[in-house]
Amino acid sequence: MEIRQLYDAETSTYTYLVWDAESREAALIDSVDTQIDRDLQLIAELELDLKYTLETHIHADHITASGKIRERLGSQAVVHRNSGSDCADVLVSDGDSIRLGEQTIRILETPGHTDTCISYSIDDIVFTGDALLIRGCGRTDFQAGDAGKLYDSIHDKLFSLPDSTIIYPGHDYRGLRSSTIGEEKAHNPRLGNNRPKQDFVDLMNALVLDPPKKIAEAVPGNLECGLKQG
Question: What would the pLDDT profile of 160-212 be if each residue is shown by its tens digit?
Answer: 999 999 999 999 999 999 999 999 999 999 999 999 999 999 999 999 999 88
Per-residue exposure over 90-123, b if at least 16 CB sit within 10 Å of its own CB, e if not? eebeeebebebbebebebbbbbbbbbbbbbbbbe
Could you write out the three-class secondary structure of the chain? CEEEEEEECCCCEEEEEEECCCCCEEEEECCCHHHHHHHHHHHHHCCCEEEEEECCCCCCCCCCCHHHHHHHHCCEEEEECCCCCCCCCEEECCCCEEEECCEEEEEEECCCCCCCCEEEEECCEEEEECCEECCEECCCCCCCCCHHHHHHHHHHHHCCCCCCCEEEECECCCCCCCEEHHHHHHHCCCCCCCCCHHHHHHHHHHCCCCCCCCHHHHHHHHHCCCCCCC
Average pLDDT, the chain: 96
Cβ contact 172:11 at 8 Å: no
Distances from the Cα of 213 to the Cαs of 142, 170, 185, 208, in angstroms? 13, 17, 31, 15
As a whole number of angstroms, the distance between CA 209 and CA 149 comes to 19
**pLDDT score recorded for residue 229:** 61
Q: Can you give the pLDDT at residue 192? A: 95
Give the range among 94-98, 124-128, 214-218 with minimum mean pLDDT.
214-218
Give the number of other Cβ atoms within 10 Å of residue 163's Cβ: 12
Average pLDDT over residues 40-47: 98
Report whether pLDDT(230) > 60.
Answer: no
What is the per-residue pLDDT across 133-154, written as a single tens digit (0 to 9) for each? 999 999 999 999 999 999 999 9
Q: Is the pTM value of this prediction over 0.85?
A: yes
Q: Is 2-210 in CATH node 3.30.1300.10?
A: no
Q: What is the C-alpha separation between 5 and 8, in angstroms, rounded?
A: 10
What's the pLDDT band for 214 if we cut at 50, 70, 90? confident
